[in-house]
């Protein structure tokens, strides 16, 4: 059923983007308010449609006929079902809080209008992404969020490093987009449609030849690795921390980077077509998650810790995708949006309060000067560590449980190993998050100046997100999986286990927290001994597993060399060759004309007569 | 056959007369001031041309289900069977629309070469008239005349107002294209003679009308091979396809901004157009066999152009090679019988024309201001020239084919449409998606971001006034075509379908008309 509210969800932030810039140019203070209001309008419409979902299965709206012509049917159609509803609620809900927070965070920046215009543009793109009825429409949002991410990472563009980080993000995402395009090409020719609903219909999926099915699945996953920062395309995300911190919270933690998981869930029919694809996804996710968690341990920049943590948590979500537990992955998307946005915004308050200091070695003891921020960060840390009954516990626990029973033939003999590895990563997560909490908020202040608590406009949204990080899981856990059983395949019910289950389930998190507390607070001398033993590990972790360097050597340098060779050898010879050829031709023509230009009148007369005769022959109908 | 009103030939005659008007004595009496008046005259002429074209489209879209297909025939050299035969179908419409839009943008652009007066506008309007002719002619000889004639205004303007090495560039350009078209001309003569020898004539003599020639299906496969290669060489140089692009960097580097925009936007498109209009109907067997090589050539051009563009430091050269890359997509699109890909190729040609013209103009503002075109002497300009920075971002985003810009529509249809026929070459071409982002964003980064480069020669300011208007109009067009491309696609697709499958369903009605 057509519903104008659906169109408004997307259009409101688009209008907001223009309005917040135009009015912001006149009065910069207005821009944040306008942008937030636009997102609020979106949120209102999302909630209103969500309420209507009980009465009907879905809503849709055609914004433009777009790529429809002749027998090609690819309209710009948006579509609202339970899966879109969940994503839209996260995007607009968390998005609104971050918009409000940004009013405080960006209060002193003179380019605020530009900032809020980009932010609103991002919300609009992200909403198109999650509302797209067909793959090309999703691709509009997909590329749109990529553009906004690029623009916002390089927001302070006079710093060439920041601008380069933006370019890196865009290019790495584009490598993934290659997969998206290839998948669309395969699916269009095999199924005759790119409609996502049709592409979850087994009858239509059966048209895909088996040798193309897994290519389509892998191509889609390639797209997801770019956007959702998985190996080997994750290194752009830590660099993306160059952007303003609210951007890191909104785009590079809560929403955009989860687009890959959303894509996998939307296209679960294609992804699961060949069991090889989920297996590849799972191993990639496990490796990414482990690598990122290990890197996070040695980071000193508070935002870098959170960035690697995001990569690692995204890996956790892909673990669930790999075993076919799509709604579990989505659940972690939601809880992660709560606690990671909260963590980033708290970190933003810390950076704001410490006069743009991001190095945790020059922080410490902030619990006293920034109690509210400390409270939020602490709550979110417990959530991400997976301590019951905080939000992260439920989603993380569900992922660990789903790993145990997978029907995938490539995986089920490894389920023990996978489960152990995932548990180890969970311990690791609790460890590095506790470390960051201790370095930032405990002990004594090691920086300069006087840190101060953030203003209300910043603390209020953070506290709200902290509350969600505390209670969100408890509230959603009983209903979430069942809710998504329409658009997504059902998952196995798991026993909650009561209080004892809570304690056992929290054990990895508690262990990580205790370990960190022991090393950094109780027995600091032990830390040095551990470092001595694990010095190689520390080198690798601090070197970020040398992923950037490996990519440089294996991909970037060869491409650059190739481009130089093509230019210097091939193109130069084309240019030189053409010069030679032209010289030769000109000379030949010159000689001919010289010979013709004899200077003898009789020759010219002969030419004239010959030409005249030819013309006469041609023009007179002699025959 | 209903003669349309206004006649199709008005699309050629109006700019041609407009060019004559530019040469009228009142424009050249006093130099600079009158040149400005002349610009207004040229704008009026090109707006008028655009309005005529819009009238055709309006008439066509008024009737649902109507397929645009207007023709106009005048006898020209009846004893040779050469007629002044024009046809405006969806294919021609797309390209003539591009021509009208780009010409308007270039004549409306406020800056012209420093020493140029009314002659600048006269040459541009002659350029419009001849390019229009090439896109409308269905008589091969007439097409050939326009195909050659459109070089003259470009060469003239290049030689008169180009950069330091302008004469070299002009010579190179001239020789290249002459070589290409010489063989094509011989092939055209052969076709006419061959038709006559088979007893198919126009008024008792040779026959050069494309639809009839194609419907005769008189060529053996070896004839198709020989003639097809001759035609292909001409178009490969004109587009240009790798490795026939030797003329391109020199020409684009030396041409004044407006001329570079005009040339880059329009001239190469004649090659794309001609492959669909002439080669597919005339040499269907050859095209069917050569398709995979053509696809390979297109895909290689995409990657080759992008790789070379990555090493360029001169913004103009970078744009030149990016054109090679983007036109590679078009070549891929016309390589196979896929209505989707071929429609995409035409759309991409139109889109690339608009985007590349806008890029040449915008870059012109920046490089004029800084007195430099090298990255090493640019940088951090986003603060200094925010409006230019905005437009450069919009057109860069369009150049990398982000969805909701016109380029995406073209690239998407080409890649998806070609996949079934040439999966490998389509995959290779898709690499352009990544490489294009690399060189485009690098160019933007080096020009606009980072610390401001202290420049010694700052002449002129930001984009403003009528130049902002021109860029805004082009940007609007790029977005409009990106959001609602359906209308233009509907116009294009039936025409390319007829062209690419005419070997299967020869239009015998036109043949009948000639026999009468």
Residues A573 and A433 in one domain: no
Residues A561 and A534 in one domain: no
Residues A341 and A362 in one domain: yes
Residues A508 and A606 in one domain: no
A234 domain residue, yes or no: no
Residues A529 and A554 in one domain: no
Please give the residue of chain B at the shortest CA–CA distance from A175: B434
* Total tally of structural domains belonging to chain A: 3
Record: contact B489-A69, CB cut-off 8 A:
yes
Highest mean pLDDT out of A153-157, A405-409, B11-15, B337-341: B11-15
Q: Which residues of A85-116 are buried (b: 16+ CB within 10 A; e: fewer)?
A: bbbbbbbbbbbbbbbbbbbbbbeeeebbbbbb
A159 domain residue, yes or no: no
Residues A448 and A562 in one domain: no
Query: Could you read off the pLDDT of B396-451 as tens digits, one per residue?
Result: 999 999 999 999 999 999 999 999 899 999 999 999 999 999 999 999 988 888 88
Residues A74 and A15 in one domain: yes
Q: How far apart are CA B456 and CA B413, in angstroms?
A: 46
B431 domain residue, yes or no: yes
Please give the pLDDT value at position B379.
Answer: 80
What is the average pLDDT score of chain B?
A: 86
B345 domain residue, yes or no: yes
Record: contact A69-B430, CB cut-off 8 A:
no
Residues A292 and A368 in one domain: yes
Our CA-based measurement puts residue B499 at a distance from the nearest CA of chain A, in whole angstroms, of 15
Interchain CB contact of A128 with B (< 8 Å): no
Q: Which residues of A556-570 are buried (b: 16+ CB within 10 A; e: fewer)?
A: eeeeeeebeebbeee
A142 domain residue, yes or no: no
A239 domain residue, yes or no: no
Of A84, A111, A133, which closes a domain? A133
Query: Could you read off the pLDDT of B214-245 as tens digits, one per residue?
Result: 888 888 888 899 999 999 999 999 999 988 88
Q: What's the number of CA atoms in the CB half-sphere (13 Å) around residue B247?
A: 31
B438 domain residue, yes or no: yes
User: Do residues B305 and B242 lie in contact, with contact meaning Cβ atoms separated by under 8 Å?
Assistant: yes
Residues A554 and A533 in one domain: no
Record: contact B451-A65, CB cut-off 8 A:
no
B266 domain residue, yes or no: no
* Total tally of structural domains belonging to chain B: 1
Please give the pLDDT value at position A279.
Answer: 93
A517 domain residue, yes or no: yes
A221 domain residue, yes or no: no
Residues A314 and A283 in one domain: yes
Residues A528 and A605 in one domain: no
Our CA-based measurement puts residue A111 at a distance from the nearest CA of chain B, in whole angstroms, of 11
Query: Could you read off the pLDDT of A238-287 as tens digits, one per residue?
Result: 999 988 999 998 888 889 999 999 999 999 999 988 899 999 999 999 99
B332 domain residue, yes or no: yes
Of A542, A568, A590, which closes a domain? A542
Q: Which residues of B130-155 are buried (b: 16+ CB within 10 A; e: fewer)?
A: bbbbbbbbbbbbbbbbbbbbbbebbb
| Domain carrying residue A598 | 548-619
User: Do residues A324 and A272 lie in contact, with contact meaning Cβ atoms separated by under 8 Å?
Assistant: yes
B392 domain residue, yes or no: yes
- Whether residue A578 has pLDDT greater than 80: no
Which chain A residues are within 8 Å of B415, Cβ to Cβ?
A: 181, 185
Record: contact B442-A167, CB cut-off 8 A:
yes
Q: How far apart are CA B76 and CA B83, in angstroms?
A: 5
A73 domain residue, yes or no: yes
B475 domain residue, yes or no: yes
Of A542, A573, A588, which closes a domain? A542
pTM: 0.92
Q: How many Cβ pairs within 8 Å bridge chains A and B? A: 157
Which chain A residues are within 8 Å of B249, Cβ to Cβ?
A: 575
| Domain carrying residue B326 | 308-483
Which chain A residues are within 8 Å of B494, Cβ to Cβ?
A: 70
A386 domain residue, yes or no: yes
Q: Is B220 helix (H, G, I), strand (E, B) or coil?
A: coil
Residues A362 and A284 in one domain: yes
What percent of chain A has a predicted confidence (pLDDT) above 70? Answer: 96
Query: Could you read off the pLDDT of A503-524 as tens digits, one per residue?
Result: 888 889 999 999 999 888 888 8
B181 domain residue, yes or no: no
Structure-token match 């003639």, residue found: B227
Q: What token pair was written down for B490?
A: 């509907």
């Amino acid at each position: 059923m057509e519903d104008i509210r659906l169109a408004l969800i997307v259009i409101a932030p688009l209008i907001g983007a223009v309005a917040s810039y135009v009015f912001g140019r006149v009065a910069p203070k207005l821009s944040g308010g306008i942008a937030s209001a636009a997102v609020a309008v979106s949120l209102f419409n999302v909630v209103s449609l969500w309420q209507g979902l009980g009465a009907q299965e879905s809503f849709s709206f055609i914004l433009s006929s777009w790529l429809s012509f002749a027998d090609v049917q690819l309209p710009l159609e948006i579509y609202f079902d339970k899966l879109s509803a969940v994503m839209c609620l996260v995007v607009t809900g968390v998005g609104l809080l971050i918009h409000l927070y940004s009013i405080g965070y960006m209060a002193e920046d003179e380019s605020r209008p530009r900032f809020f215009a980009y932010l609103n543009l991002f919300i609009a793109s992200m909403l198109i992404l999650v509302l797209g009825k067909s793959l090309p429409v999703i691709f509009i949002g997909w590329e749109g969020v990529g553009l906004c991410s690029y623009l916002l990472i390089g927001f302070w563009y006079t710093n060439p490093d920041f601008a380069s980080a933006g370019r890196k993000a865009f290019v790495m995402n584009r490598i993934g987009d290659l997969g998206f395009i290839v998948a669309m090409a395969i699916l269009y020719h095999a199924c005759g449609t790119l409609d996502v609903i049709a592409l979850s219909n087994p009858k239509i999926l059966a048209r895909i030849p088996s040798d193309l099915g897994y290519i389509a699945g892998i191509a889609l996953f390639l797209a997801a690795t770019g956007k959702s920062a998985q190996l080997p395309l994750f290194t752009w995300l830590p660099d993306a921390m160059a952007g303003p911190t609210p951007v890191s919270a909104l785009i590079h933690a809560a929403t955009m980077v989860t687009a890959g998981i959303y894509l996998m869930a939307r296209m679960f029919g294609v992804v699961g077509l060949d069991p090889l694809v989920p297996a590849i996804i799972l191993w990639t996710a496990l490796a990414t998650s482990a690598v990122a968690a290990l890197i996070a341990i040695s980071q000193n920049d508070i935002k870098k810790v959170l960035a690697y943590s995001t990569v690692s948590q995204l890996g956790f979500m892909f673990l669930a995708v790999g075993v076919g537990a799509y709604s579990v992955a989505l659940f972690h998307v939601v809880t992660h949006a709560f606690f990671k946005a909260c963590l980033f915004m708290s970190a933003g308050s810390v950076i704001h309060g410490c006069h743009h200091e991001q190095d945790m070695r020059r922080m410490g003891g902030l619990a006293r000067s920034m109690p509210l921020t400390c409270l939020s960060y602490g709550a979110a840390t417990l959530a991400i560590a997976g301590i019951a009954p905080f939000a992260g516990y439920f989603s993380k626990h569900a992922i660990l449980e789903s790993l145990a029973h997978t029907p995938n033939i490539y995986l089920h003999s490894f389920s023990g190993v996978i489960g152990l590895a995932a548990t180890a990563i969970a311990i690791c997560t609790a460890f590095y998050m506790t470390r960051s909490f201790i370095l930032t908020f405990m002990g004594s202040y090691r920086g300069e100046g006087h840190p101060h608590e953030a203003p209300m406009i910043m603390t209020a949204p953070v506290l709200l997100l902290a509350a969600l990080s505390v209670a969100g899981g408890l509230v959603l856990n009983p209903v979430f999986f069942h809710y998504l059983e329409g658009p997504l395949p059902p998952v196995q019910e798991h026993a909650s286990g009561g209080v004892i289950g809570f304690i056992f389930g929290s054990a990895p998190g508690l262990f990580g927290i205790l370990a960190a507390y022991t090393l950094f607070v109780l027995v600091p001398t032990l830390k040095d001994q551990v470092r001595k033993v694990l010095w190689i590990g520390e080198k690798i972790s601090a070197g970020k597993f040398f992923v950037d360097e490996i990519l440089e050597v294996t991909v970037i340098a060869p491409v650059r060399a190739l481009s130089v060779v093509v230019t210097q050898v091939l193109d130069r010879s084309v240019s030189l060759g053409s010069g030679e050829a032209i010289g030769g031709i000109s000379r030949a023509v010159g000689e001919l004309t010289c010979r013709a230009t004899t200077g003898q009148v009789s020759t010219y007369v002969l030419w004239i007569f010959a030409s005249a005769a030819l013309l006469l022959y041609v023009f007179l109908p002699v025959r | 056959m209903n003669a349309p009103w206004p006649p199709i030939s008005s699309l050629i005659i109006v700019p041609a007369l407009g060019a004559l008007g530019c040469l009228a004595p009142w424009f050249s009496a006093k130099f600079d001031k009158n040149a400005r008046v002349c610009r207004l005259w040229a704008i009026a002429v090109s707006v008028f041309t655009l309005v005529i074209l819009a009238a055709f489209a309006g008439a066509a879209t008024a009737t649902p289900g109507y397929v645009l297909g207007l023709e106009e025939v005048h006898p020209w050299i009846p004893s040779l069977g050469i007629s002044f035969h024009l046809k405006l179908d969806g294919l021609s419409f797309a390209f003539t629309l591009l021509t009208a839009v780009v010409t308007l943008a270039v004549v409306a652009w406020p800056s012209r070469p420093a020493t140029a007066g009314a002659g600048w506008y006269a040459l541009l309007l002659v350029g419009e008239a001849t390019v229009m002719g090439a896109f409308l002619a269905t008589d091969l000889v007439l097409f050939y005349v326009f195909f050659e004639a459109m070089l003259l205004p470009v060469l003239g303007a290049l030689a008169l107002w180009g950069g330091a090495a302008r004469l070299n560039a002009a010579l190179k350009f001239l020789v290249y294209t002459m070589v290409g078209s010489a063989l094509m001309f011989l092939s055209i003569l052969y076709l006419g003679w061959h038709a006559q020898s088979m007893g198919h004539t126009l008024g008792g003599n040779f026959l050069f009308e494309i639809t009839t020639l194609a419907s005769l299906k008189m060529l053996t496969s070896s004839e198709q091979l020989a003639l097809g290669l001759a035609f292909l060489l001409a178009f490969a140089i004109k587009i240009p396809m790798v490795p026939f692009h030797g003329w391109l960097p020199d020409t684009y580097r030396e041409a004044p901004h407006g001329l570079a925009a005009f040339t880059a936007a329009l001239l190469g498109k004649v090659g794309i157009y001609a492959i669909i209009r002439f080669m597919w109907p005339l040499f269907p067997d050859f095209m069917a066999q050569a398709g995979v090589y053509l696809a390979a050539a297109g895909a290689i051009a995409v990657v080759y152009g992008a790789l070379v563009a990555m090493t360029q430091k001169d913004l103009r050269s970078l744009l030149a090679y990016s054109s090679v890359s983007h036109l590679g997509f078009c070549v891929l699109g016309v390589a196979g019988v896929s209505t989707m890909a071929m429609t995409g190729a035409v759309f991409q040609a139109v889109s690339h024309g608009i985007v590349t013209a806008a890029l040449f103009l915008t870059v012109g503002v920046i490089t004029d201001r800084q007195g430099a075109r090298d990255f090493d002497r640019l940088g951090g300009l986003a603060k200094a020239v925010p409006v230019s920075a905005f437009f450069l971002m919009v057109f860069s985003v369009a150049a990398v084919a982000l969805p909701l810009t016109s380029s995406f529509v073209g690239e998407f249809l080409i890649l998806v449409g070609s996949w079934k026929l040439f999966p490998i070459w389509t995959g290779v071409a898709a690499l352009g998606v990544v490489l294009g982002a690399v060189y485009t964003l690098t160019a933007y980064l080096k020009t606009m971001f980072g610390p401001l480069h202290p420049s010694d020669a700052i002449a002129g300011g930001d984009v403003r006034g009528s130049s902002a208007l021109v860029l805004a109009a082009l940007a609007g067009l790029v977005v409009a075509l990106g959001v609602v491309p359906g209308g233009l696609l509907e116009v294009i697709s039936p025409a390319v379908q007829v062209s690419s499958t005419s070997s299967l369903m020869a239009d015998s009605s036109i043949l009948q008309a000639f026999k009468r």
